[in-house]
Chains A and B, each alone.
Chain A
Amino acid sequence: MVTIVFLGKLADLAGAPSLQLAAPLGWAGLKAALPSALAEAVDDPRNRVALNGALLADKAGLQAGAGDEIALLPPVSGG
C-alpha cells in the first residue's frame, strides 16, 4: 500500500489526514482514485508533492511503490 498524506485544507477535503491506496501509484492513478472534488483540489498547480519526504520537481513523474509515502502540500499560509 501507499500512504497519502494530506496537508492544510486538503486534509479537510479528504476528511482525514491520510489514507492508503494500492501500490504501485502514479500521479494520474492517484487523482483517479480520489473523489472528484478532492482530485480537483489536489490538481491545483500551486500544490507541491513529496515522495518519502523529498519534494518532486515534476509531479507528473510520480512513481510510488509499496510502503512509500506521498505528501500533498498546498501553498503554505502567510503571516
Chain B
Amino acid sequence: MRDIRLLHQMFIPGTLIGPFTQANPGLGGVCTFVGEVRYDQGVEALELTHYEPLTLPGMHALADRAFGRFDLMGLLMVHRVGVLRPGEPIVCVSAAALHRRDAIDAVDFCMDHLKSAAWFWKREKRGGQWHWIEPRDQDHADLSRWHEPI
C-alpha cells in the first residue's frame, strides 16, 4: 500500500492513518509521524509553495528510495501546501512493516528528506509581514545521518 499525496486543504491525520493501517494486513508494526505548524511566538501563518513538475515526483522518488532501503509493506506520505495556521497538520508519514525498525527508520528517513531536500519553499507571517525561511544547518546535519549527498 503506497499513498503519496500533496494536499491543498486542511487534513485530519487520523482519517488517513486508520485506512492505511487497515490496508496493510499482516503488518508487524506501523510508525507514524505527524508534523504541525508550531505556535512560535508571533507567527500568524505559514505558507508553503511548491513547483508542480518537481515536488510530487520528488516525493515519489523519495518513496522509491525508502522502499529500496527498508523492508516495508506500505508507506503513506502526505504533505500540505498553501496557507496554514499554527496547530494545523503540515505533514504525515506512516510506514508499515513486518518489523518495527524498518517502520521507524523509514519514517525518520522520509522526514529528514522532506524537511531539507524536497521542493517546498516556506514563509511565515509575523506582525502582518511575510518572511522567507532559509535552509538551516541542522537540516543538513539531519540529512547527513543517512550518508547520502544532498
Contacts and interface: CB of A to CB of B under 8 A. Distances in A.
Interface of A: 5, 7-9, 11-12, 50, 52-53, 55, 69, 71, 73-79
A69 B118 CA distance: 20
A74 B134 CA distance: 10
A78 B121 contact: no
B51 A78 contact: no
A73 B54 CA distance: 10
Contact of A71 (B51, B116, B120): B51
Interface in B13-53: 49, 51, 53
Interface stretch (B72-80, B98-106, B135-143): B135-143
A78 B138 contact: yes
Contact of A76 (B57, B117, B123): B117
A79 B139 contact: yes
Interface residues of B, number: 22
A79 B121 contact: no
Interface in B48-98: 49, 51, 53-54, 57
B136 A76 contact: no
B12 interface: no
Contacts of A5: 51
Interface in B115-132: 115-123, 130, 132
Given A7-B49, A78-B135, A55 B121 contact: no
A78 B132 contact: no
A9 B53 contact: no
A50 B54 contact: yes
B138 A8 contact: no
A60 to B, nearest CB: 20
Contacts of A76: 116-121, 135
Most buried by A among B116, B118, B121, B123: B121
Given A12-B130, A74-B121, A76-B121, 6 more contacts: A8-B132, A9-B132, A50-B51, A71-B54, A78-B138, A79-B139
Contacts of B121: 7-9, 74, 76-77
22 contacts: A5-B51, A7-B51, A8-B121, A12-B130, A50-B53, A52-B53, A71-B51, A73-B51, A74-B121, A75-B135, A76-B116, A76-B117, A76-B118, A76-B121, A77-B121, A77-B123, A77-B133, A77-B135, A78-B135, A78-B139, A79-B138, A79-B139
